[in-house]
Homo-oligomer: A and B are copies of this chain.
């Protein structure tokens, strides 16, 4: 081995500590422990946690520092500094992960926690207040677990990459395809997770509730597709697409929501692995987005993205160089052991020094200071949260409501739905398909132990009594073996009403696993088609995060109704069944485009561009650019009632001078956030059923760089519980940024031109037109990536290596990376 004995010692420590960390989480003893007199334990020292963190870092040896740069941090036993596992997950409820340990007796205290729908379903709710409420439950339950020694204080959530390609296996973890939607969603989410400064328990902002981590920064949305593994994929992204599409949600995290942590990703962007990208992590994140103002913000690598910088990216010439480049670029924490193994060597070679280590560790320990890690529990209300705050009735209701709000009605011929409980009395209902009896399936990925998992079958049985319900699983997603279909026919033949729950699930879309088809399987279409011949009421519920092309079901007159349910979480069965029976009214909207199955034939998953290209036949991506016909467009969703609406600009004028608009922004830190207008919308429920209504406001117009997007979502709000015959209101706030476009250099610019605001996805419900006049004005000047850096343009490491792995392991000089 090429490692010094120091490093071997470090390795052993890391091993020991890893086992230690698997035991319960604990706080350091700041009263009588060795650190008691270190300023890090002095809660009254300074409001800037950096001062306290620096005091701790100043007493660490270099070896101790290096050892503390990995996610399973061993702490420093001689100082009484507790081991700390940074890797905690909480995507939609606290989740199994190295730092989170459920009681193995799931019926006992801390044996479970509330499990909400996957983000793709919650995204369909278009309800930021809901997201805040959900996140508040998650952070409360996280603190309760932490106080019991069962969880840490920072959570590696959200996954806020936009859902760019319908095949992406992790699209289910995101709220959808639109960057404005994601930005708005994530601000509410982070506020709920971290606690706002005025949140109960934050002691006037002294304490964060938990730290949230925006991932995967940036351009990460390929798992494995045609030779491109996420660990080696180099995403080629134009500056314009980067700023316009891939980064807004991260800007919202860093600049606006002041998230506590970021995670850099496995992939490279334009030749540079993101964890080694000084421009991305420093120029963009910390400087341009002013994240450095959040002094305790830290960046972790995805697990083991630092290793990837060496292999398979081959961006660094040696293991030590990969570790050093990542640390210096601003990756403060390494999920994995590459830092603990190779930073010592890098240190010996002069590639990193104590200042580099101190910078990283100061951020990390500042974050723990802000989480009250070193402070007395007595002064921290969050530290009093306990098991009685987990799985509260309110939290369970919220999980149910989140699923209801995220359910989308896609087809409802002749008012097939609702099938009221009155109508169902005395009837026999067949509950069919591979989602009919779903339990953990409903949780998707990154989940914990739920207090219960109520399937659709369970819900129908509760409603009608088990004797009136027949059940059969469906044809599985893979093999079309018809032998398993006999039980379907038996159930269907004996029933009066047919409910089919199918689509896709985690077995075909998951981490590491992109889809190769966006069609329903032939087997499922065959079964549904034969069910549709029965003449019995047939409701199909399409499940899974990525969309499947439901046009055959739309076209089939025997399919009366079609719903989409995503991954609806612990109470998904009752939530969807209550929508079917009309006890709840559907008002969710698709947070992504449902493309026709043939769409992917013309679209390489690795083509990161958004705009269509007529020459190559590339049809474009997302509702903003896709110029073909969607099966169901972004924002689609039917109701049980009908609506009319009125909308107007709060201003009486219909023409705005750009210079005047910007001059009114004094005191606004960022021009794009400067208010433009507040658009009140009044929605009249003209039908017979109480219902929510999601007000989606789209901007259209020919202004700024060509090509023009078809339309752009600029605001949304969900109005709740509008009674039949009554009206509800929504207030849609627009900023100058809402009207802006991004130019080819990445600058966000306000352009003169004609603008049109349209409510909802069908034209005609309500429209407001206005013009901007004057000179185009830059709202945000983009910090261009330096030219000539390694990986950009022509580079030492040949482009194309990522396509098929690595040709040979020799670089142009003939030197073997493996023997260097």
B-binding residues in A (CB < 8 A): 1-3, 8, 11, 14-15, 18, 72, 224-229, 231-232, 303-304, 307-308, 310-313, 319, 336-338, 341, 478-483, 485-486, 489-490, 492-493, 512, 516-523, 525-526, 528-530, 532-534, 549, 551-552, 555-558, 596-601, 800-801, 803-810, 816-819
Contacts and interface: CB of A to CB of B under 8 A. Distances in A.
Given A304-B481, A526-B310, A818 B558 contact: yes
Contact of A818 (B310, B482, B528): B528
A339 B803 CA distance: 44
B818 A552 contact: yes
A637 B304 CA distance: 36
Contacts of A809: 525, 529, 551-552, 555-556
A482 B304 CA distance: 6
Nearest to A528: B818
A341 B522 CA distance: 17
A522 B307 contact: yes
Given A225-B516, A557-B819, A597 B481 contact: no
A1 B493 contact: yes
Contacts of A552: 806, 808-809, 816, 818
Contacts of A817: 529
Contact of A2 (B480, B530, B596, B808): B530
A2 B558 CA distance: 13
B819 A522 contact: no
A308 B486 contact: no
A808 B530 CA distance: 17
Contacts of A556: 809, 816, 818-819
Contacts of A3: 489
Contacts of A819: 529, 532-533, 556-558
21 contacts: A1-B493, A2-B533, A11-B490, A18-B483, A72-B483, A227-B601, A303-B479, A304-B479, A304-B480, A313-B522, A319-B526, A478-B512, A517-B805, A518-B805, A525-B818, A528-B818, A532-B819, A551-B809, A556-B809, A596-B807, A600-B804
A522 B308 contact: yes
Interface centre among A232, A341, A526 (most CB of B within 10 A): A526
A412 to B, nearest CB: 18
A675 B786 CA distance: 72
A482 B341 contact: yes
A474 to B, nearest CB: 14
Interface centre among A8, A18, A336 (most CB of B within 10 A): A336
A489 B1 contact: yes
A776 to B, nearest CB: 41
Contacts of A600: 226-227, 804
Contacts of A493: 1, 8
Interface centre among A227, A231, A529 (most CB of B within 10 A): A227
Given A558-B818, A558-B819, A228 B516 contact: yes
Give 7 nearest A-B pairs by CB, closest first: A519-B805, A312-B522, A597-B805, A529-B818, A552-B809, A311-B522, A598-B804
Nearest to A554: B808
A-side binding surface: helix, strand, loop or mixed? mixed
A28 to B, nearest CB: 24
Contacts of A532: 818-819
Nearest to A338: B482
A408 B818 CA distance: 24
Contacts of A803: 598, 601
A522 B529 CA distance: 46
Given A18-B486, A232-B522, 12 more contacts: A8-B493, A72-B483, A308-B480, A311-B525, A311-B526, A336-B481, A337-B485, A517-B805, A549-B806, A552-B808, A557-B816, A601-B804
Contacts of A478: 512
A50 to B, nearest CB: 30
Instruction: Give this chain's copy count.
Output: 2
B549 A805 contact: yes
Contacts of A596: 804, 807-808
A360 to B, nearest CB: 18
A557 B814 CA distance: 13
A558 B72 CA distance: 32
Contacts of A1: 489, 492-493, 530, 533-534
B516 A226 contact: yes
Given A1-B533, A512-B478, A533-B2, A489 B11 contact: yes
A227 B517 contact: yes
A528 B816 CA distance: 13
A620 to B, nearest CB: 16
A230 B229 CA distance: 22
Contact of A231 (B224, B312, B522): B522
Contacts of A516: 224-229
A739 to B, nearest CB: 37
B800 A312 contact: no
Nearest to A549: B805
A521 B551 CA distance: 39
Nearest to A232: B522
Given A1-B534, A808-B555, A519 B312 contact: yes
Contacts of A490: 11
B231 A599 contact: no
A337 B479 CA distance: 14
A228 B319 CA distance: 39
A562 B227 CA distance: 24
B483 A337 contact: yes
Contact of A337 (B486, B518, B808): B486
B804 A15 contact: no
Contact of A599 (B11, B481, B483, B804): B804
Contact of A800 (B14, B601, B806): B601
A596 B806 CA distance: 8
Contacts of A526: 307, 310-311, 319
Nearest to A508: B224
Contact of A307 (B308, B482, B533): B482
Nearest to A480: B304
A283 B8 CA distance: 70
Contacts of A319: 526, 530
A623 to B, nearest CB: 19
Contacts of A492: 1
Given A1-B493, A311-B525, A556-B809, A519 B482 contact: no
A319 B819 CA distance: 61
Interface centre among A310, A337, A528, A810 (most CB of B within 10 A): A337
Contacts of A806: 519, 549, 552, 597
B597 A523 contact: no
A800 B336 CA distance: 45
Given A516-B225, A525-B312, A819-B558, A807 B483 contact: no
Contacts of A801: 598
Nearest to A487: B15
Contacts of A512: 478-479
A480 B806 CA distance: 16
A335 to B, nearest CB: 8
A483 B486 CA distance: 48
A319 B526 CA distance: 9
A597 B804 contact: yes
Contact of A480 (B227, B307, B804): B307
A325 to B, nearest CB: 16
